[in-house]
Structure formats: C-alpha cells, structure tokens
Amino acid sequence: MKLAIVAITRHGIALAGRMLAVLPDTRLFVPEKFRADAERVAPDASCSYPGKVGDQIPALFAAFEGIIAIVSVGAVVRLIAPHLRDKTQDPAVVVVDEAGKFAIPVLSGHLGGANALARQLATALGATPVLTTASDVRQTLAVDLLGRELGWTLEASHETLVRASAAVVNDEPVALVQEVGRTDWWPHHANGRSGPLPANLALFDQLEAIDPTAFAAVLWISHRELPTALAEPLRGKLVIYRPG
C-alpha cells in the first residue's frame, strides 16, 4: 500500500519518524514551517507544503492508497468529508494520536484496508487499534473480502452483498459451497482469522446439495454457471466467487 503520513506538529513529526521506520513506500507531509524537522526524521521521504493542510487532501486522495493522519479525529472528518466518493475508491484513512496510544480507522476500514493498517501501526507503536467494523471486531467472515488475498473475484449486486454480510454478522444461517479453489482461505482471510469458522456457516461441496429456503445467504465458490433451476430460488441471496 502506497502511504502518506500527515503531521502538523513537532510531536506528530517525531511519531511519524517511528512509523516511517516500519512502513516502506511512505511519504511524510508537513507544513512548510516544519520542513527542517521533517527532513531530520525523513530526509528522503518528506514533503512540505504552504498554506492549509485541507488544501492537500485532493492530491493525497488521488496519489495514495492510504493516509495516516496525526491529527484529531474531528478535524480529519471535516477535512476529508468534501472529498468522499464511495468505499471502492476512497483511500484508507487512519488517525493516530500524538502520544501513539491509539490507531483509529475512519475511512475505508474494511474494504480499503484501514483496519489492517491500524493493526499494523498498533503493532509497530505498541498502540491499541480501535476497530468498529462488525466482521473484524467479531473475527467472523467478511463476505466482500472472501478469497481476495488469493485472487478470487466475486459476482453479486451491492444489495446482495449487503444482505449477505448482514446475515453473517447477525448469526443467520449461511451456506458456503466450495467446489473449487484453495481450501486454506480462512487463516488468511481479512488479515487473518485464528478462531474457528463462524457457527452459523454451513459447509457444502455442491450447490445442488443445499435447500435455498433454509439459508439467508449462499456463498458459492465455483467455476460453473449457475444452474437454471436454482436461479430463482437463490435470487437476492447468492454471492459467487471465482478463483483465478
């Protein structure tokens, strides 16, 4: 992930120096008056700017996949609000307090990787990651991330993804049908899952083996086309994953 760190105080710049030691491909952005301080902690990776930090947000959003802001949460919310598009395009944004005690994802935590970045920063700084995404907090299955680290793609409407995700986190019965692909996806899923599979997840090896009426959502890992006879019974509840 290509990252930018934004710091607006001397204490923040010092903390940024600790982050830069463990984050490759990262640049530090500071106000012009702190140019010398930034160059001391990041001689080859610092940029200073004139004017207000808010004026830098459009360029940062365009150029970086993730932004770490050593700024108050409230200020960051106000700064980024005018530039938000949608969760498939917005960069990950994580706020870290000047004391380095907390790493707080505020944008694109789940799909954009801010939760994973917060965990990485927490490990590096000895901080606490403040996560609020239900699937990450509960360490359950993230429907829109299943198999992403393995190169799988998914086919489903936004409405179906929302419905299936809600079924998982609300402990409704969900069928997972895996006909192809690697079966070791759970330990690597959504930055790692160490516990057992969710209890509301029922595993099958053929789509035809399930009763569509018994499940709130069906997650199907396959190369096959959807059988015509199942198209209507699974309408609105089927998410298809295509392993590469």
Contact criterion met (CB below 8 Å) for 98 and 72: no
CA distances from 59 to 6, 113, 220 (A): 12, 19, 39
For the chain, list the strands marked E by DSSP: 3-7, 26-31, 46-49, 66-70, 92-96, 102-107, 128-129, 153-155, 174-178, 201-204, 217-221, 238-242
The DSSP H or E segment spanning 39 is: helix 35-41
Residue with tokens 């309408």: 235
Give, as one character, the DSSP assignment of residue 196.
Answer: P
Instruction: Give the pLDDT confidence score for residue 187 in this predicted structure.
Output: 84
| CATH code, 3-132 | 3.40.50.11220
Q: Where are the domains of the chain?
A: 3-132, 143-242
| pLDDT value, residue 189 | 78
Determine the 3-state secondary structure of 119 from DSSP: helix
- pLDDT at position 26 is 96
What does the pLDDT read at residue 136? 76
Q: What pLDDT, in 10s, does the model give residues 105-134?
A: 999 887 788 988 998 999 999 999 998 887
Per-residue pLDDT in tens (0 to 9) along the chain, 244 residues: 899 999 999 999 999 999 999 998 899 999 999 999 999 999 999 999 999 999 999 999 999 999 999 999 999 999 999 999 988 899 999 999 999 999 999 998 877 889 889 989 999 999 999 988 877 777 789 898 899 888 999 999 999 999 999 999 999 999 999 999 999 898 877 666 778 899 999 999 999 999 999 999 999 999 999 999 999 999 999 999 999 8
The count of other CB atoms within 10 Å of the CB of residue 126 is 9
Give the torsion through C-alpha atoms of 197, 199, 203, 209, to 10 deg: -170
Residue with tokens 């990041």: 42
Q: What DSSP string runs through 123-173? A: HHHT-EE----HHHHTT---GGGTTGGGT-EEE--HHHHHHHHHHHHTT--
Residue 230, classed as helix, strand or coil, is helix
CA 213 to chain centre: 32
Strand order in the sheet with 217-221: 153-155, 238-242, 217-221, 174-178, 201-204
Q: What is the pLDDT of residues 19-55, one digit of tens each?
A: 999 998 899 999 999 999 999 999 999 999 999 999 9
